[in-house]
Amino acid sequence: SQTIHQWPATLVQPVGSPLSLECTVEGTSNPNLYWYRQAAGRGLQLLFYSVGIGQISSEVPQNLSASRPQDRQFILSSKKLLLSDSGFYLCAGASLTDTQYFGPGTRLTVL
Amino acid sequence: GENVEQHPSTLSVQEGDSAVIKCTYSDSASNYFPWYKQELGKGPQLIIDIRSNVGEKKDQRIAVTLNKTAKHFSLHITETQPEDSAVYFCAASRDRGSTLGRLYFGRGTQLTVWP
């Protein structure tokens, strides 16, 4: 099965600073990749998904962007963080022959 | 799109009792239903899944049942233990792993097992 890696595990950033969260996948090729955010409460909000290099679909308009420069690399970015960007960010991947697996997550606090 | 509703939002049981979490879905084309367990501060972990050509699946103390006609599926945990305490998510999708196979999640159930 595939393994999803995310870093950093925790991040504290000031309002207005840039953001870059990285996700890499091992154990599969050409996976679908996803970024989720989990804010206060328990819900999983899908932010972006990608079916291939350079192909990004956004689920909700927001202060964030995503890129997929390599087959197994997915990056979540922001030019200027807002307080409302605080949350738990999860990367997930799914291959054609397997289900969706999640990474360990990044806890982002914007102060 | 698909709409998945999950109940209850919180569930407390005594150790050794059974726990049942129920989900309904709206898209009759959905054919894959995974369940995830999320412990505090960690990413969700897949614990069991079921496809629409099967009515029930069991893995030790965990079982999932699916009623396609009524469009609902349930997670059953027997002989609960304190380490079962976590948030559980149900999800539905049309095709596992396909380009259209995004998962639609329920809002989660906080299960607490008291010793």
pLDDT in the model for residue B17: 98
Average of pLDDT values for B58-64?
97
pLDDT in the model for residue A42: 73
Q: Across the interface, do B43 and A51 touch by the CB < 8 Å criterion? A: no
> Can you tell me the distance from the alpha carbon of A65 to that of A79, in angstroms, rounded to the nearest whole number?
9
**Residue B92 Cα, gap to closest chain A Cα (Å):** 11
Nearest C-alpha in B relative to A98: B97
Q: B93: which DSSP letter?
A: B
Nearest C-alpha in A relative to B39: A104
Burial label for A45, CB within 10 Å (0-12, 13-18, 19+), is middle
Residues B69-105 have pLDDT tens digits of 999 999 999 999 999 999 999 999 886 545 556 889 9
Residue B114 has pLDDT above 70, yes or no: yes
Mean pLDDT by 10 residues, chain A (111 residues): 92 97 92 90 88 89 91 96 95 82 96 96
Q: Across the interface, do B36 and A46 touch by the CB < 8 Å criterion? A: no
**Residue B97 Cα, gap to closest chain A Cα (Å):** 4
pLDDT in the model for residue A97: 64
Identify all chain A residues contacting B97, using CB atoms and an 8 Å cutoff: 32, 94-100
Cβ contact A41:A32 at 8 Å = no
pLDDT in the model for residue B56: 95
User: For residue B106, what pLDDT band results from cuts at 50, 70 and 90?
Assistant: very high
